[in-house]
Each structure stands twice: as structure tokens, then as C-alpha cells.
Structure 1
Amino acid sequence: MLLELTIIFLVLLFGSFIQGVSGFGFGLIAMSFLPLLFTVKESTLLVVSLALVLSVSIALQLFKHIQWRTIIVILSAALIGRVGGFFILHYYGEQDILKVFLGVFLLAVVIYLFRSKPPKPDSKVNRTWLPVILGLGGGLVGGMFAVGGPFFVFYFLLLYHDNKYAYSANLQVTFVLTALITVTLHGVNGDFSLGFLGYFLVGLVSVLIGSRIGVRFFAKLSQANIKKLAAIVVAIAATNLMVTALLL
């Protein structure tokens, strides 16, 4: 039990540090390892609940940089997607096949992280159908696996390529509101167990420490190198997750 809690603490600490530095990554890191200990449903509920606390912590520190008018479309679509993710996780979250799907998605994200290039400064950003598609996708995947961040990262990097504080602040407030929807729906549906509280408290301490350290290093560390390190860790864990799910 002590070893399990220690592993959970360290995984969540690393994930929250990555999010504090780069704006996202907590769900990717956490969901690469936690399904090895729990079901996808249990892992997602723990990560989403902690992501809510983590994102609130970071958003409050960057609150003055939030630009509400620019995120209303993608946020509205994301909230709809989260409702769809809730139903899928509720009915199929205990099945191991979801671990395979999760592993495939995580590897796809790794490929994206390594191949993506910074947006061109003069590129024109579509603010109608693009945020709707990305919001629905991010909301759905986030509601199922708590790893919908890359959809929002892609869009906000286009919008705020010259302002990393606005990028991170608006990303975090999006995470806050979408996570709140997921936690509320599953809470009303009775999906949280009493044993969940112990893991949540351990994780709470972990993410508060990790996020504060990450935000402190936000202006000092290279985000590109941090993302590469996180991508390598996610790739290894995702491969192990898929192999384990297929062999069991």
C-alpha cells in the first residue's frame, strides 16, 4: 500500500511539474502510468479531479492574462464533448480494451509533440469551425481519458504564439471548466467511491507542490526540452500500457 501511494505521488508530482512549466502534460503523464494500477475509469476520475485543482492553482497565478472572449467558442464545444465522454466512461470505463485505445492515443500525441513546429507569426487563425472541431475532440477525449489537452494546446498556440502567459492562462481556465463538468456529472451519478478519497488527498499534496515548482521555472526552462522529455516518458509508458492490456 505504501509503495503504491509513493508511486502515485511521484507520478502526479512529475505530471503537475510538467504542466506548470509547459501549460499541459499532467493528464498525459498520469494516464500513462495510473491505468497500470487502476481501471481506466478509476484513473480518469482521479486525474480529472486533481487536474481541476491543479488548473485552478495555475489559473489563479495567471488570472490577469485570461482573455475570455477568445475562448468562448472552443470552450462551449469542449463542454458538449465532455458530456459525450461522460457516457462512454460510465458504461465502458471498466473494460481493458480502453487501455489499448488510450495507449494508441498517447502514442499519437507523442508523434505530434516531436513533429509539431511553432506556428508562423503571420498565420491567420480560424475562429469558427476549427475551435468547434478541436473543442469537441478535446472535450470527448478529455472526458474519456483525461488527456484532451493537445487539442486545446494546438489551438491556443495559434492564438497566443507571441504571449506564453496568455497561452497558459487560457489553457488552464479551459481545463478548469471542462474538468468541473466531468467531476459534477460523475459525482451526481455516484461514480466516486470512498476509497477514492485517500488517493485524492495524496494526489492533492503532490499536484500543489509540483505545479508551484513548475510555475516558478516557467520563465527559466526551455519548454521545448521539457515537452521532449515528457514525450519520451509517455511513449515508454503508453507502450507498456498497451502490451499489458493485450496480454492480460
Structure 2
Amino acid sequence: MMVLLIAFINFFSAFVQAASGFGYAIFSMFFMPIFLPFNQCSVISASVIVAIALQMTITLHKHISIKKLAVPMFSCLLFIKLGIELIDNLSANILRKIMGIFLLCLSGFFYYTQKHKKIIRATRKGGILIGALTGITTGMFNIVGPFLALYYFDNCKNHLEFKANLECSFLLAGLVSLGMNVYRIHITLELTTYVITSCLASVIGGIIGLKIFKKLNKEKIKYVILCILPFMGIIQLTK
């Protein structure tokens, strides 16, 4: 029963990601820790991220701009370990509070940038800052996309380059996070089952989400998610 529940969470999260362009880890790492320890959730979500991103990176590899992703991803990979160490040294209750605060701040950040049409320039300082924030959130919650999505959106020449860079970043961050998490946790048959079923469910969810994506208003979906984020943050803080 628990295997099906975790698989459904990942199916839903991947569906949201495919239909809106972001949100997998935000939703999966909100729901899964209700039922499983944070460190197991990190392994599952990192595995799913790698599975999804690998397929997309192979498909879009011709549009990847190494020059534009080099600085933020170098910074990101350096800071992933810090995020993972925070998980090791903090209780599950504190981690939920941190995630609640992060979701509230993230919703405020998105609202501010959308309202004021703020652009994140591809400077060295900007890339390092975006990468560091992404590395910490990746290490703690496997949340890779939000900051990088804004950074690439403002600096890529077209939507294919944007999508290719974002998916390649997912793949790189996911591989590093997965490797570090696997190294520090005992892999059991039960966890392996969660990983395999979640990856399969996520692929199916992604396929369905992409089909629906073509028929729905992308911007409206994003605004719905942004409206949900504060409530998710408040729930985490009040648990």
C-alpha cells in the first residue's frame, strides 16, 4: 500500500512538472516526508529527477549552452554537500519548518519577479548566487528548478535552449545529489522498490502531463501553483 502511495505522489508531482514546467520536487518533497524519513525521500526524488532529466537532455542536447550553465552549475554542485549536511544535523521537525519558510519565501520571490518584471542578468556574481541557492535547496529537498528557471529564462535565446539548459542542470544536480545520498544511507530492498516504482510512475505522469500541457494555459497553471505555495508553507510550519 505504501509503495503505491509513494508512486502516486511521484506520478502527481511529475505530472505537475510536465504540465507547468516546474514543481516536481516542491510537491514530492512536501508529501513524501509525511510517510517516509527525509533521507529516503531525498534518494527517491533524486532518482526520479535523474530518470526524467536524462531522457530530456538526450533529446535536447543540441540546444544546450555550456557557456550559460557553467557558472551557476559549478556553484550549485559545490553547495549541494552543504544542503545534505544540514539534513544530517537537523531533526525532521526543523527540516519541515525550514521547508515551510522556503516555500513562503519562494512564493514571495516569484510574485515579486513576476510583478516587477525583474531580470536576472548572466553575470558571474549572479550565476554564483543562483547556483549557491540551488545547491543548498537541492541538497536539502532536491528542489533544483525555481531559481535556475528564472535565470535561464532571462538569458537563453529561445525556449529550446532554456528547456535544454534546465534539463541538463536537473541531470547534473540530480546525479551529484543521488550519489551523495546513496553514499550516506543504507539502501534496502524496500527503498529500491520505492525508487523503481516512483521512476516508472513519474515517466507515465510526465507523458500525460505533456499531452495536457498542449491544451492548457501554461501561465494560468503557474499562477495556480504560486497561489498554492504559501498554503503549503503554512502547513509545514504548523505541523
**TM-score scaled by length of structure 1:** 0.85
Which residue of 2 is the match for residue 164 of structure 1? Answer: 159
- Select which of 122, 135, 138 maps to 1:139: 135
1:204 aligns with 2:202: no
Which residue of 1 is the match for residue 107 of structure 2? Answer: 110
Question: 1:83: Cα distance to partner?
Answer: 2.0
How many residues matched? 239
- Determine the C-alpha separation between the residues in 2 that align with 1:242 and 1:193: 31
**Residue pair 2:122, 2:155 contacting (<8 A) in 1 also:** no
Which contiguous aligned blocks of 4+ residues in structure 1 show a shift greater than 4 angstroms? 118-121, 217-220
Residue aligned with 2:137, SS: helix
Give the stretch that moved more between structures: 189-198 or 68-77: 189-198
Identical pairs, percent: 22
Which residue of 1 is the match for residue 217 of structure 2? Answer: 222
**Residue pair 1:137, 1:148 contacting (<8 A) in 2 also:** no
1:192 aligns with 2:190: no
- Select which of 62, 70, 73 maps to 1:75: 73
Which residue of 1 is the match for residue 85 of structure 2? Answer: 87
- Determine the C-alpha separation between the residues in 2 that align with 1:60 and 1:146: 21
**Residue pair 1:32, 1:238 contacting (<8 A) in 2 also:** no
RMSD: 2.4
Distance 1:171 1:191, change over 3 A: farther
Which residue of 2 is the match for residue 19 of structure 1? Answer: 17
Distance 1:108 1:22, change over 3 A: same
Question: 1:42: Cα distance to partner?
Answer: 2.4
The letter for the 2-side match of 1:125 is R
Which residue of 2 is the match for residue 51 of structure 1? Answer: 49
- Select which of 222, 226, 235 maps to 1:240: 235
- Determine the C-alpha separation between the residues in 2 that align with 1:91 and 1:49: 23
Of Structure 1 and Structure 2, the greater helix share is in 2
- Determine the C-alpha separation between the residues in 1 that align with 2:3 and 2:158: 38
Question: 1:119: Cα distance to partner?
Answer: 8.7
**Residue pair 1:113, 1:228 contacting (<8 A) in 2 also:** no
Unaligned runs of 5+ in 1: none
**Residue pair 1:85, 1:140 contacting (<8 A) in 2 also:** yes
Question: 1:191: Cα distance to partner?
Answer: 4.4
Question: 1:233: Cα distance to partner?
Answer: 3.9
1:174 aligns with 2:169: yes
**TM-score scaled by length of structure 2:** 0.88
Unaligned runs of 5+ in 2: none
Question: 1:115: Cα distance to partner?
Answer: 3.8
